[in-house]
Amino acid sequence: MNRQKSFENEKPTLYLVATPIGNLSEMSPRAIEILQTVNVIACEDTRTSGQMLKHFGIKSRLIAYQNFNEDPSAKGILNLLSQGQNVALISDAGYPLINDPGQRVVSEAAAEGYNVVPVSGSSAFLNALVASGLVVQPFLFIGFLPSSDNERAKKLREYRNYPMTLVFYEAPHRIQKCLETCLEVLGDRRCCIARELTKVHEEFIRGTLKEVLAECDGLKGEIVLIIDGNKDDYRKDVDYGTLMNMVNSQVMQGLSKSDAVKKVAGETGISRKKLYDLVHSKEN
């Protein structure tokens, strides 16, 4: 059990500070203030973040926190917190942990009882989602798909029956192959490509997968791909193991089994009765 009242104690704090995804004017005054006052800022790339921090006159100590050194880096940050220091975690752009490092240190800091405080700001996939023209709620953020054609198709098959809007990140040099695989596995659904968000070359390409595929040659910059969910009912080949894992995860977070079924049914679009029957059958 862990109950955090972020601003009613004097415990050391790990701040999760979102940074601009392109337009530096979107840096909030609160984010600047926190980055100026913390003892240490942990970032992905000290050179990239150093330039951004210099722009805002932020001189706090800078250390690296990356996926390949996440275990020792997390221990280092926990050690700083144990010494009473406040630490801010930032990404090169956008929100920490959203397809960026940070999960380990956040989980461990919270488990140790330190404050973990989010500081609102830019998020590429949320920007893309709300402007896509597709249904915003519910949605499923997946991030990057595998780079190999076979693994990409395999992963997409896990999600092809889900009714919620699907959200992906993709690199410009892979977007054509990604769209081809999506068309093959998901069918010709409505979609939207959003690229270079908040920058001078910001662009949204809306249409069906086939239509957008015809326009994707030579695209540059960071890309978010939004695709319509399956508008039909769940088919017989739905991954019930995934549904059970979702229910069990909610139970582990404190919900009753009936409330967990209700929540997962709402998130996935499967009927509550069908999901309850599935859970009940697994118990017997």
> Considering the domain boundaries, does residue 232 fall inside one?
no
Where is the domain boundary, 122, 153, 172?
Answer: 122
Same domain, 148 and 247: no
Residues 252 and 264 in one domain: yes
CATH of the domain at 213: 3.30.950.10
* Structural domain includes residue 4: no
Sort residue 29 into left (φ over 0), alpha (ψ -120 to 50) or beta. Answer: alpha
Using left for φ > 0, alpha for ψ between -120 and 50, and beta otherwise, residue 266 falls in: alpha
Task: Please check whether residue 105 lies inside any domain of the structure.
Answer: yes
Predicted pLDDT of residue 238: 60
In this structure, the answer to whether residues 267 and 174 fall within a common structural domain is no
Q: Is 103 within a domain?
A: yes
Which pLDDT tens digits describe the chain residue by residue (284 residues)?
889 999 999 999 999 999 999 999 999 999 999 999 999 999 999 999 999 999 999 999 999 987 777 788 899 999 999 999 999 999 999 999 998 889 999 999 999 999 999 999 999 999 999 999 999 999 999 999 999 999 999 999 999 989 999 999 999 999 999 999 999 999 999 999 999 999 999 999 999 999 999 999 899 999 999 999 998 755 445 667 778 888 888 888 888 888 888 888 877 767 777 788 777 776 65
Are 155 and 195 in a shared domain? yes
Q: In this structure, are 99 and 141 located in the same domain?
A: no
Q: Residue 169 falls within a domain, yes or no? A: yes
Q: Residues 252, 167: one domain?
A: no
pTM of the model: 0.78
Same domain for 183 and 255, yes or no, is no
Same domain, 67 and 80: yes
Count of structural domains, the chain:
3
Q: Are residues 147 and 223 in the same domain?
A: yes
Distances (CA, A) of 37 to 5, 13, 17, 28, 172: 20, 12, 13, 15, 37
Whether residue 7 is contained in a domain is answered as: no
In a domain, 141, yes or no: yes
Instruction: Outline where DSSP puts E strands in 5-164.
Output: 13-17, 40-43, 61-64, 87-89, 115-119, 139-144
- Single out the residue in 122, 141, 164 at which a domain terminates: 122
The verdict on 50 and 115 lying in the same domain is yes
Identify the domain boundary among 81, 98, 122: 122
Domain shared by 36 and 137, yes or no = no
Indicate whether 78 and 147 sit together in one domain: no
pLDDT of residue 237: 52
CATH classification at residue 74: 3.40.1010.10
> Given this model, what pLDDT does residue 283 score?
66
What's the rounded Cα separation, in Å, for the pair 108 and 66? 16
For the residues of 190-240, what is the DSSP string, one character each?
Answer: EEEEEESTTSTT-EEEEEEHHHHHTT-TT--S-EEEEE----SPP-TT--H
The pLDDT value given to residue 284: 58
Residues spanned by the domain of 199:
125-227
Q: Are 141 and 123 in contact (CB under 8 A)?
A: no
| Residue 130 maps to a domain | yes
